[in-house]
Structure 1
Amino acid sequence: MVKQRIFYYDVLRAIAILGIVFCHASVTFVLTGVDNPTFYISAFFDCLRDFSIPIFVMLSGALLINRKDSLGDFFKKRLSRLFIPFVFWVVISIIYSVVYLKHSFDISNALDIFFGKPGTLGVAFWFIWMIVIVYFEIFIINRLIIYGSGKRENFEKVFITLLTVLSVIYMTLSHFGILGHYSSNVLYFMSFITYVIIGYFISHYDLVGSRVSANKMIIATLLVSCALYGYYIFGFVVPKSIQANHFVYKGYFNLLILALSVNIFSLFKYLSKTKYLMNIEDKTLGKLFITISKYSFGLYLCHYMILNLIKINLIGIYRNQNPLLWIPILVILTTSISLAILGILNRIPYLDRFTGKS
């Protein structure tokens, strides 16, 4: 049986991956200095990542929590889909680094790319290791739900609600610096389970029910999302960056980013209950969202290398130009070329396994 896609999940996934591409396309402009009069434009685009990663993780929770797969089935499906395309694009990135960028080849450089070390072509690959750890946590939660559901009626709802409350408490403690710094990457990656739980809760439960119309919730979540992001950029990022004389932004574990991510996720959930999304699902824009969503993982894996190639060849054209024009151009070029490559690979037997298509 063909699994039915949830269109608003596709839209959120497409927006999230584009937000990450926008971030990486903006880096060159952000680093030109906070005294640049166009800094706020670069910061606006760069910080799209700050809710995009949480939304990606929230979607994992929406889709994977409360699954009844066995340990073997769960990880065979999840890890094979992760690592087969991941290893392929790691190898391609290493080859590109040596052949095109003329970097010397050694095991240390290769491992840096493999493990997602900042400053390498694998800078985005940290996400893979975070997701692997999160998958283990999701499996444990699923087994607890199965066990508890056999002991008590409505256990799943009570358990998820409790985990959601604990997740918000964790975010609050992180926001006020009570938890301090993470002592290792493993602990940092484990903390993303909070977004997984919150994503499942938002997608499966409706606190307002029929008491408030979907149209009113759309207006409310849209206004709050715009207000929160506007405050984040112009009330925090820009002034703090100017004060520190370098680019400053928040991490993922604070109440502002949580509220922003939750409102954006909720906005599209309520849009899915109206005609707004239904009217575009079968049209060109809707099909584009679905295509980007299907290839989002492959796009995540290959876009940074493609963007690097584009920047090298166009640097003489876009350097010192208006970021309001050139960041979107870089995003469009990167996304288009990446999707074209992934689409070609998807048509070739055996190579189609490397696209990460869902």
Structure 2
Amino acid sequence: MVQYLSKRQRIHYLDLIRVLACFMVMMIHVRSAFDLKTDSATQFFIATLRPCVPLFIMISAILLLPLKDTTSIFLRRRVSRVVIPFLIWSILYVFLPTPSKINFGGLENTLTASALAPWIKSLLMIPINFTWVNVHFWFIYTIIGLYLFMPIISPWFEKTTSKGLSYFLFIWVLTTILYYAKIWFPQIHGVCDWNEYGMLYNFSGYLGYLVLGFFLHKYNTLTKVRSILFGSALWLTGAYFTYKGLLFSLSQPERMTWILTEGQKVEFFINNLSINVIMMTAGLFMILQKITLTGFFYKVVREFSKYSYGIFLVHYFITIWMIHCLKTYEMNGILNSWIQQPLMALLVFFGSYLIVKALSYLPKSEYIIG
């Protein structure tokens, strides 16, 4: 998504993280072909691969903060490299052929029961939110919001010290721990029916991943072995609690009385802003940060990294058709689920890459694939 390296030396390990995070997204999305409630492989993958989106945000912080240009130049670049391709593909997803009745759907809103044609409703939704046909674009709305905030926080990133970053991260992590307090106390620290913004609200959200990425990039001075060992311990601990939490929400949803909808119950313990997912994300980052690729292997990773945003934009179209074909021709389950899901993700990844690579030869392709 972020190709902002022309003025600075390329940071090799970020290419590896970007490609791996992109593949993890594919893994999470192909799981729709399997039953989350009964398939153990799906449960494992959906729980342990949650760091994919947070890793993208951490990369953005490292590449973009503090800003090296004026606010206007920075925002113009974000618009041309991120927003315009997002808008183009949002429109394409409305008109590209999709299986069954996936053309419109999503969170209930005033358009849901409208008599308008599905394609009109989907177009009207683009400035508002995603629909089921482009559900993966929820992340783009999030990252655009962070881009808008970057010019404001850039001076702080430029001047702050490790102590300043640690101060913010301490309170941010505290908000992710208090996230679980709603099990016993649904409303804390000033939150009530007429106020949804509690005491620590301004320290919460995906902004924390920007700070975490910047902090680990600049201040993780551990040796390679120690960083990998400590990172592995963090990832394993976070993965264990995320996986166990998911199993609990699937097996005993009736006990989760503090949540109203079934979807929120499934997502509660695997939320990107829970302490367990943060542990997984930080741990995986610390591992990959110390891995050095050279020669042919790095050239391959760099090639995929170059087109990663385009791959992300395209992949869901391939994913929904692949799942549709597997179910239509009753091919799902031919292979063991532990094998089939990674193979499906690989096919989606390479298929998306080939499409994006072909599109890259078009004039002004940067406005299409980022």
Q: TM-score, normalised by structure 1?
A: 0.81
Q: Deviations over 1:265-313 (max 9, x none)?
A: 11122x24xxxx2xx33223x3332222222211111111111122222
Report the counterpart of residue 196 of structure 1 in structure 2: 210
Aligned to 2:133, the other structure's residue is in SS state coil
Amino acid across the alignment from 1:262: A
**In the TM superposition, what are the counterparts of 1:69-88 in structure 2 within 5 Å?**
69-88=69-88
Aligned to 1:318, the other structure's residue is in SS state coil
Report the counterpart of residue 9 of structure 1 in structure 2: 14
Gapped regions of structure 1 (runs ≥ 5): 150-154
Q: Distance in 1 between matches of 2:139 and 2:247?
A: 26
Q: Distance in 1 between matches of 2:225 and 2:135?
A: 40
**In the TM superposition, what are the counterparts of 1:28-177 in structure 2 within 5 Å?**
28-31=33-36, 34=37, 36=38, 39-97=39-97, 103=103, 104-112=117-125, 115-118=128-131, 120-144=132-156, 149=159, 155-177=160-182
Matched, 1:27 2:32: yes
Matched, 1:250 2:270: yes
Amino acid across the alignment from 2:296: K
Judge conservation of contact 1:90–1:114 (CA < 8 Å) in 2.
Answer: no
Q: Distance in 1 between matches of 2:123 and 2:351?
A: 25
Matched, 1:237 2:246: yes
Gapped regions of structure 2 (runs ≥ 5): 1-5, 104-116, 183-187, 255-261
Identity across aligned pairs (percent)? Answer: 21
Structure 1 residue 175 displacement after superposition = 4.0
Q: Deviations over 1:302-333 (max 9, x none)?
A: 11111112222232243344321221222111
Report the counterpart of residue 323 of structure 1 in structure 2: 337
Judge conservation of contact 2:172–2:204 (CA < 8 Å) in 1.
Answer: no
Question: Relative to structure 1, is the Cα distance of residues 176 and 287 closer, same or farther in structure 2, using a 3 angstrom cutoff?
Answer: farther
Amino acid across the alignment from 1:334: V
Q: Distance in 2 between matches of 1:144 and 1:7?
A: 26
Q: Distance in 2 between matches of 1:97 and 1:156?
A: 51
1:221 to 231, 235, 239: 231
Amino acid across the alignment from 1:205: Y
Judge conservation of contact 2:176–2:273 (CA < 8 Å) in 1.
Answer: yes
Question: Relative to structure 1, is the Cα distance of residues 47 and 313 closer, same or farther in structure 2, using a 3 angstrom cutoff?
Answer: same
Judge conservation of contact 2:356–2:369 (CA < 8 Å) in 1.
Answer: yes
Q: Deviations over 1:118-137 (max 9, x none)?
A: 5x111111111111111122
Amino acid across the alignment from 2:217: S
2:308 to 281, 296, 305: 296
| Higher mean C-alpha deviation, range 345-354 or range 313-322 | 313-322
Report the counterpart of residue 307 of structure 1 in structure 2: 319
Judge conservation of contact 1:98–1:105 (CA < 8 Å) in 2.
Answer: no
Structure 1 residue 44 displacement after superposition = 1.5
Q: Distance in 2 between matches of 1:189 and 1:130?
A: 16
Structure 1 residue 224 displacement after superposition = 3.4
Report the counterpart of residue 283 of structure 1 in structure 2: 296
Structure 1 residue 338 displacement after superposition = 0.6
Q: Distance in 2 between matches of 1:5 and 1:213?
A: 21
Aligned to 2:252, the other structure's residue is in SS state helix
Aligned to 1:166, the other structure's residue is in SS state helix
